[in-house]
Amino acid sequence: MLGLVATLVAAAPAAAQDGRAVFDARCASCHALSADAPAAAGPHLAGLAGRRIGGDPAFDYSPALREAQGTWDAARLDRFLTDPEEMFPGLWMGGNGIAQAAQRRAVVDFLTGR
């Protein structure tokens, strides 16, 4: 019985990463998930997979993101969230990456529909 409890407790952290919950806790204060949401501190993140970097036409991006090339996909988003300012020096996101890999992956999956 004790062994079973220990097994369940040990398994919980890996299984319990819910991308929406992590997004709500760590990102939703600045980012909306729909294009017609009221203006927020950050750009909306609707349809992020395949979207151009700096691609919310209503948002006034930093030069770092205005001048960036390419589109978002899961691999790029994972690298971005590992250390946002490392990927885009001069970024205006206040160090709000996700250091913990399982949490980061859950958010990436949630935002790119994986």
Q: What CA–CA distance (Å, rounded) separates 97 from 93?
A: 8
Residue closer to ligand HEC, measured from CB, 12 or 26: 26
In the chain, alpha helices (H):
2-15, 19-26, 63-66, 74-82, 84-87, 101-112
For the CB of residue 4, give the shortest distance to ligand HEC in the complex, in Å.
34
Q: Which is nearer to ligand HEC, 30 or 74 (CB)?
A: 30
* Smaller CB separation from ligand HEC, 7 or 20: 20
| Nearest distance from C-beta of residue 32 to ligand HEC, angstroms | 11
The answer to whether the beta carbons of residues 111 and 19 sit under 8 Å apart is: yes
If the CB atoms of residues 4 and 97 are measured against ligand HEC, the closer one turns out to be 97
> At its nearest, how many Å lie between ligand HEC and the CB of residue 17?
13
CA 20-97-28 angle, 5° bins: 40
Region for residue 113 given its phi and psi (left: phi exceeds 0; alpha: psi -120 to 50; beta: otherwise) = left
Residues in touch with ligand HEC (CB under 6 A): 26-27, 29-31, 41-43, 45, 53-56, 61-62, 64-65, 77, 81, 91-94, 96, 98, 107
Structure-token match 């209503």, residue found: 58
